[in-house]
Amino acid sequence: MSTLEERLRRHVQALAGDIGERHVWRPQALRAAADYVRAEFAALGFAVAAQAYDVRGVRCENLEVAIPGSRRAGEIVLAGAHYDTVAGSPGADDNASGVAGLIEIARALRDASPQRTVKLVAFVNEEPPFFPFGQMGSKLYATAARARGDDIRIMLSLEMLGCYRDEPGSQAYPPFLQWFYPDRGNFIAFVSNLRSRRALAEVTDAFRAHCAFPAERLASPAFIPGVAWSDQRSFWRAGYPGVMVTDTAFYRYPHYHSATDTPERLRYPEMAQVVQGLARALAALAA
Protein backbone atom coordinates (compact mmCIF):
# COMPACT_ATOMS: atom_id res chain seq x y z
CA MET A 1 0.00 0.00 0.00
CA SER A 2 1.42 3.38 -0.95
CA THR A 3 1.85 6.18 1.53
CA LEU A 4 -0.75 8.21 -0.36
CA GLU A 5 -3.25 5.37 -0.05
CA GLU A 6 -2.59 5.16 3.67
CA ARG A 7 -3.12 8.89 4.14
CA LEU A 8 -6.34 8.90 2.11
CA ARG A 9 -7.64 5.98 4.14
CA ARG A 10 -6.70 7.77 7.37
CA HIS A 11 -8.55 10.94 6.39
CA VAL A 12 -11.68 9.06 5.35
CA GLN A 13 -11.62 7.01 8.56
CA ALA A 14 -11.22 10.13 10.68
CA LEU A 15 -14.11 11.94 9.03
CA ALA A 16 -16.56 9.14 8.24
CA GLY A 17 -15.51 6.53 10.79
CA ASP A 18 -14.44 8.42 13.91
CA ILE A 19 -16.56 11.57 13.52
CA GLY A 20 -19.31 10.17 11.33
CA GLU A 21 -22.48 12.01 10.39
CA ARG A 22 -21.67 15.75 10.38
CA HIS A 23 -24.07 18.63 9.79
CA VAL A 24 -25.71 21.49 11.68
CA TRP A 25 -28.04 19.10 13.56
CA ARG A 26 -24.89 17.46 14.95
CA PRO A 27 -22.89 20.62 15.62
CA GLN A 28 -20.13 18.97 17.63
CA ALA A 29 -19.44 16.56 14.78
CA LEU A 30 -19.51 19.36 12.20
CA ARG A 31 -17.06 21.34 14.35
CA ALA A 32 -14.85 18.27 14.76
CA ALA A 33 -14.72 17.83 10.98
CA ALA A 34 -13.76 21.48 10.49
CA ASP A 35 -11.11 21.19 13.19
CA TYR A 36 -9.68 18.08 11.51
CA VAL A 37 -9.39 19.78 8.14
CA ARG A 38 -7.90 22.91 9.72
CA ALA A 39 -5.33 20.87 11.62
CA GLU A 40 -4.31 18.90 8.53
CA PHE A 41 -3.86 22.07 6.48
CA ALA A 42 -1.91 23.72 9.31
CA ALA A 43 0.34 20.66 9.68
CA LEU A 44 1.33 21.13 6.04
CA GLY A 45 2.47 24.66 6.83
CA PHE A 46 -0.51 26.58 5.48
CA ALA A 47 -2.17 29.59 7.05
CA VAL A 48 -5.86 28.70 7.13
CA ALA A 49 -8.42 31.44 6.44
CA ALA A 50 -11.96 30.84 7.70
CA GLN A 51 -15.12 32.32 6.24
CA ALA A 52 -17.49 31.92 9.19
CA TYR A 53 -21.24 32.38 9.41
CA ASP A 54 -24.07 31.16 11.64
CA VAL A 55 -26.82 28.78 10.62
CA ARG A 56 -29.56 28.04 13.16
CA GLY A 57 -27.24 29.13 15.94
CA VAL A 58 -24.38 26.91 14.74
CA ARG A 59 -21.05 28.39 13.67
CA CYS A 60 -20.19 27.16 10.17
CA GLU A 61 -16.91 27.67 8.35
CA ASN A 62 -15.43 27.49 4.88
CA LEU A 63 -11.70 26.81 5.27
CA GLU A 64 -9.28 28.14 2.64
CA VAL A 65 -5.57 27.80 1.98
CA ALA A 66 -3.69 29.48 -0.85
CA ILE A 67 -0.49 29.00 -2.83
CA PRO A 68 0.29 32.46 -4.23
CA GLY A 69 1.04 32.80 -7.91
CA SER A 70 4.23 34.43 -9.11
CA ARG A 71 3.61 36.11 -12.47
CA ARG A 72 -0.20 35.93 -12.80
CA ALA A 73 -1.19 35.98 -9.14
CA GLY A 74 -4.53 37.66 -9.83
CA GLU A 75 -5.70 34.63 -11.79
CA ILE A 76 -7.05 31.85 -9.56
CA VAL A 77 -7.37 28.11 -10.01
CA LEU A 78 -9.60 26.80 -7.22
CA ALA A 79 -10.45 23.31 -6.00
CA GLY A 80 -12.99 22.61 -3.28
CA ALA A 81 -14.78 19.79 -1.49
CA HIS A 82 -17.57 19.82 1.08
CA TYR A 83 -16.99 18.22 4.48
CA ASP A 84 -20.59 18.01 5.70
CA THR A 85 -22.89 15.03 5.17
CA VAL A 86 -26.54 14.43 4.52
CA ALA A 87 -28.48 13.46 7.64
CA GLY A 88 -28.33 9.73 8.32
CA SER A 89 -25.05 9.01 6.54
CA PRO A 90 -21.43 8.93 7.75
CA GLY A 91 -20.44 10.13 4.28
CA ALA A 92 -17.31 8.16 3.43
CA ASP A 93 -17.59 8.62 -0.32
CA ASP A 94 -19.90 11.65 -0.01
CA ASN A 95 -17.75 13.45 0.72
CA ALA A 96 -14.91 12.42 3.01
CA SER A 97 -13.28 11.09 -0.15
CA GLY A 98 -13.30 14.56 -1.74
CA VAL A 99 -11.96 16.20 1.42
CA ALA A 100 -9.22 13.58 1.72
CA GLY A 101 -8.29 14.31 -1.87
CA LEU A 102 -8.26 18.05 -1.17
CA ILE A 103 -5.89 17.63 1.78
CA GLU A 104 -3.52 15.46 -0.22
CA ILE A 105 -3.58 17.88 -3.16
CA ALA A 106 -2.53 20.57 -0.67
CA ARG A 107 0.35 18.35 0.41
CA ALA A 108 1.42 17.74 -3.19
CA LEU A 109 1.34 21.44 -4.11
CA ARG A 110 2.62 23.09 -0.93
CA ASP A 111 6.13 23.60 -2.34
CA ALA A 112 4.98 24.48 -5.86
CA SER A 113 5.72 27.82 -7.48
CA PRO A 114 2.70 28.37 -9.73
CA GLN A 115 2.24 31.37 -11.97
CA ARG A 116 -1.47 31.49 -11.12
CA THR A 117 -2.68 31.45 -7.53
CA VAL A 118 -4.06 28.11 -6.35
CA LYS A 119 -6.79 28.13 -3.71
CA LEU A 120 -8.06 25.02 -1.94
CA VAL A 121 -11.32 25.33 0.00
CA ALA A 122 -13.20 22.96 2.29
CA PHE A 123 -16.85 23.98 2.04
CA VAL A 124 -19.58 23.53 4.63
CA ASN A 125 -23.32 22.96 4.14
CA GLU A 126 -23.42 21.50 0.64
CA GLU A 127 -26.08 18.93 1.46
CA PRO A 128 -29.86 19.47 1.70
CA PRO A 129 -31.66 21.44 3.02
CA PHE A 130 -29.03 24.04 2.08
CA PHE A 131 -28.63 22.78 -1.49
CA PRO A 132 -29.42 24.37 -3.86
CA PHE A 133 -30.82 27.70 -2.63
CA GLY A 134 -30.02 27.84 1.07
CA GLN A 135 -26.97 28.84 3.07
CA MET A 136 -24.50 26.66 1.19
CA GLY A 137 -20.92 27.42 2.12
CA SER A 138 -19.88 27.46 -1.53
CA LYS A 139 -22.69 29.90 -2.35
CA LEU A 140 -21.47 32.37 0.25
CA TYR A 141 -17.88 31.89 -0.89
CA ALA A 142 -18.61 32.36 -4.60
CA THR A 143 -20.84 35.39 -3.94
CA ALA A 144 -18.09 37.02 -1.86
CA ALA A 145 -15.48 36.19 -4.50
CA ARG A 146 -17.57 37.85 -7.20
CA ALA A 147 -18.11 40.91 -4.98
CA ARG A 148 -14.32 41.18 -4.48
CA GLY A 149 -13.73 40.82 -8.19
CA ASP A 150 -11.76 37.57 -7.84
CA ASP A 151 -10.61 36.27 -11.21
CA ILE A 152 -11.39 32.56 -10.79
CA ARG A 153 -10.42 30.96 -14.08
CA ILE A 154 -11.42 27.40 -13.16
CA MET A 155 -13.24 25.90 -10.17
CA LEU A 156 -13.00 22.16 -9.51
CA SER A 157 -15.57 20.55 -7.23
CA LEU A 158 -14.25 17.28 -5.81
CA GLU A 159 -17.46 15.32 -5.28
CA MET A 160 -17.06 11.63 -4.42
CA LEU A 161 -13.75 10.14 -5.52
CA GLY A 162 -13.78 6.67 -3.96
CA CYS A 163 -16.06 4.21 -5.78
CA TYR A 164 -14.73 2.15 -8.71
CA ARG A 165 -16.32 -1.01 -10.09
CA ASP A 166 -15.07 -3.41 -12.75
CA GLU A 167 -18.09 -5.62 -13.36
CA PRO A 168 -20.06 -5.17 -16.62
CA GLY A 169 -23.18 -3.08 -16.15
CA SER A 170 -21.88 -1.42 -13.00
CA GLN A 171 -22.22 2.09 -14.48
CA ALA A 172 -25.60 3.72 -15.07
CA TYR A 173 -26.41 7.01 -16.83
CA PRO A 174 -29.20 9.45 -17.55
CA PRO A 175 -31.25 8.46 -20.62
CA PHE A 176 -29.33 8.01 -23.89
CA LEU A 177 -25.85 8.66 -22.47
CA GLN A 178 -25.24 4.93 -22.01
CA TRP A 179 -24.57 4.65 -25.76
CA PHE A 180 -21.56 6.96 -25.54
CA TYR A 181 -19.79 5.95 -22.31
CA PRO A 182 -18.40 2.76 -20.69
CA ASP A 183 -20.70 0.32 -18.94
CA ARG A 184 -18.16 -0.34 -16.16
CA GLY A 185 -17.73 2.13 -13.33
CA ASN A 186 -13.95 2.10 -13.37
CA PHE A 187 -13.26 5.69 -14.48
CA ILE A 188 -13.32 9.18 -13.02
CA ALA A 189 -15.74 11.67 -14.59
CA PHE A 190 -15.36 15.38 -15.30
CA VAL A 191 -18.72 17.12 -15.68
CA SER A 192 -19.76 20.70 -16.44
CA ASN A 193 -22.62 22.79 -17.69
CA LEU A 194 -22.49 24.01 -21.29
CA ARG A 195 -21.05 27.42 -20.42
CA SER A 196 -18.07 25.76 -18.70
CA ARG A 197 -17.24 23.37 -21.53
CA ARG A 198 -13.97 25.14 -22.37
CA ALA A 199 -12.79 24.81 -18.77
CA LEU A 200 -13.96 21.20 -18.85
CA ALA A 201 -11.75 20.49 -21.85
CA GLU A 202 -8.75 22.19 -20.23
CA VAL A 203 -9.13 20.25 -16.98
CA THR A 204 -9.69 16.88 -18.63
CA ASP A 205 -6.80 17.36 -21.04
CA ALA A 206 -4.50 18.33 -18.17
CA PHE A 207 -5.55 15.27 -16.17
CA ARG A 208 -5.06 12.90 -19.10
CA ALA A 209 -1.65 14.42 -19.86
CA HIS A 210 -0.43 13.63 -16.35
CA CYS A 211 -2.34 10.49 -15.37
CA ALA A 212 -3.13 7.21 -17.12
CA PHE A 213 -6.24 6.54 -15.03
CA PRO A 214 -9.37 6.31 -17.24
CA ALA A 215 -11.26 9.59 -17.45
CA GLU A 216 -14.48 10.60 -19.19
CA ARG A 217 -15.99 14.05 -19.64
CA LEU A 218 -19.46 15.47 -20.21
CA ALA A 219 -20.67 19.01 -20.89
CA SER A 220 -24.42 18.96 -20.38
CA PRO A 221 -27.41 21.16 -19.63
CA ALA A 222 -27.57 21.65 -15.88
CA PHE A 223 -31.06 20.13 -15.62
CA ILE A 224 -29.74 16.61 -16.27
CA PRO A 225 -30.01 14.83 -12.87
CA GLY A 226 -26.71 14.97 -11.01
CA VAL A 227 -24.91 17.46 -13.26
CA ALA A 228 -25.51 20.44 -10.97
CA TRP A 229 -25.71 18.60 -7.65
CA SER A 230 -22.62 19.97 -5.95
CA ASP A 231 -20.63 23.10 -5.16
CA GLN A 232 -19.79 23.92 -8.78
CA ARG A 233 -23.39 25.08 -9.12
CA SER A 234 -22.67 27.98 -6.73
CA PHE A 235 -19.82 29.13 -8.95
CA TRP A 236 -21.91 28.82 -12.10
CA ARG A 237 -24.51 31.08 -10.52
CA ALA A 238 -21.77 33.61 -9.68
CA GLY A 239 -20.59 33.59 -13.30
CA TYR A 240 -17.50 31.41 -12.88
CA PRO A 241 -16.58 28.31 -14.90
CA GLY A 242 -16.89 25.18 -12.78
CA VAL A 243 -16.20 21.49 -13.27
CA MET A 244 -17.27 18.61 -11.04
CA VAL A 245 -14.86 15.71 -10.57
CA THR A 246 -16.85 12.66 -9.54
CA ASP A 247 -17.15 8.89 -9.46
CA THR A 248 -20.74 9.62 -10.66
CA ALA A 249 -22.39 9.12 -7.25
CA PHE A 250 -25.76 7.33 -7.45
CA TYR A 251 -25.14 6.30 -11.05
CA ARG A 252 -22.53 3.87 -9.69
CA TYR A 253 -22.46 3.84 -5.90
CA PRO A 254 -25.29 1.88 -4.24
CA HIS A 255 -24.56 3.38 -0.81
CA TYR A 256 -25.12 7.00 -1.85
CA HIS A 257 -26.73 9.08 0.92
CA SER A 258 -27.20 6.04 3.15
CA ALA A 259 -26.02 4.73 6.51
CA THR A 260 -23.86 2.21 4.66
CA ASP A 261 -21.59 4.84 3.05
CA THR A 262 -18.69 3.70 5.23
CA PRO A 263 -14.88 3.84 4.82
CA GLU A 264 -14.30 0.17 3.99
CA ARG A 265 -16.45 0.43 0.85
CA LEU A 266 -14.03 2.74 -0.96
CA ARG A 267 -11.22 1.62 -3.26
CA TYR A 268 -8.15 3.50 -2.14
CA PRO A 269 -5.62 2.37 -4.80
CA GLU A 270 -7.77 3.86 -7.58
CA MET A 271 -8.56 6.89 -5.45
CA ALA A 272 -4.84 7.51 -4.94
CA GLN A 273 -4.23 7.46 -8.69
CA VAL A 274 -7.03 9.97 -9.24
CA VAL A 275 -5.84 12.32 -6.50
CA GLN A 276 -2.27 12.23 -7.77
CA GLY A 277 -3.53 12.98 -11.28
CA LEU A 278 -5.67 15.87 -10.02
CA ALA A 279 -2.72 17.40 -8.16
CA ARG A 280 -0.61 17.26 -11.29
CA ALA A 281 -3.44 18.65 -13.41
CA LEU A 282 -3.94 21.57 -11.03
CA ALA A 283 -0.22 22.29 -11.10
CA ALA A 284 -0.33 22.34 -14.90
CA LEU A 285 -3.41 24.59 -14.99
CA ALA A 286 -1.76 27.00 -12.57
CA ALA A 287 1.44 27.06 -14.60
CATH number for the domain spanning 62: value is 3.40.630.10
Question: 46-70, pLDDT tens digit by residue?
Answer: 999 999 999 999 999 999 999 999 9
Average pLDDT over residues 110-114: 94
Nearest to 91 by CA among 6, 12, 170, 4: 12
Task: Give the sheet arrangement for strand 242-246, strand by strand.
Answer: 49-55, 58-67, 116-123, 72-82, 151-159, 242-246, 188-192, 215-219
pLDDT, tens only, 267-286: 999 999 999 999 999 999 99
Domain housing 249? 3-286
Question: What is the mean predicted confidence (pLDDT) over 9-16?
Answer: 98
Is residue 129 reached through a cis peptide bond, with omega within 30 degrees of 0 on the bond before it? yes
Question: In which element (H, E) is residue 60 found?
Answer: strand 58-67
Output the pLDDT for position 204. Answer: 98
**Confidence (pLDDT) at 38:** 98
pLDDT tens-digit series, residues 68-90: 999 888 999 999 999 999 999 99
Q: Considering only 135-144, 198-207, 218-227, 233-242, which range has the smallest mean pLDDT? A: 218-227
Q: Strands (DSSP E) along 127-214, which ranges? A: 151-159, 188-192
Q: Report how far Cα 63 is from the mean position of its chain's Cα atoms.
A: 13
Give the closest residue to 283 by CA, choosing from 141, 4, 79.
79
Asked if residue 1 has pLDDT above 90, the reply is no
First to last CA, the chain: 31
**Model pLDDT, residue 2:** 67
Query: Mean pLDDT over all residues of the chain?
Result: 96
State pLDDT tens for residues 202-228.
999 999 999 999 999 999 999 999 999
The confidence score (pLDDT) of residue 274 equals: 98
The predicted structure's pLDDT at residue 20: 98
> What is the percent of the chain with per-residue pLDDT over 90, rounded to a whole number?
95
At 101 the pLDDT is 98
C-alpha 141/C-alpha 179 separation (Å) is 37
- The CA distance from 37 to 55, in Å, is 20
The string of pLDDT tens digits covering residues 156-183 is 999 999 999 999 999 999 988 989 999 9
pLDDT (0 to 100) of residue 73: 84
- Report helix, strand or coil for 206: helix
pLDDT of residue 134: 87
Total domains, the chain: 1
The predicted pLDDT at position 41 comes to 98
Q: How confident is the model at residue 132 (pLDDT cuts 50, 70, 90)?
A: confident
| Interatomic CA distance for residues 51 and 58, integer angstroms | 14
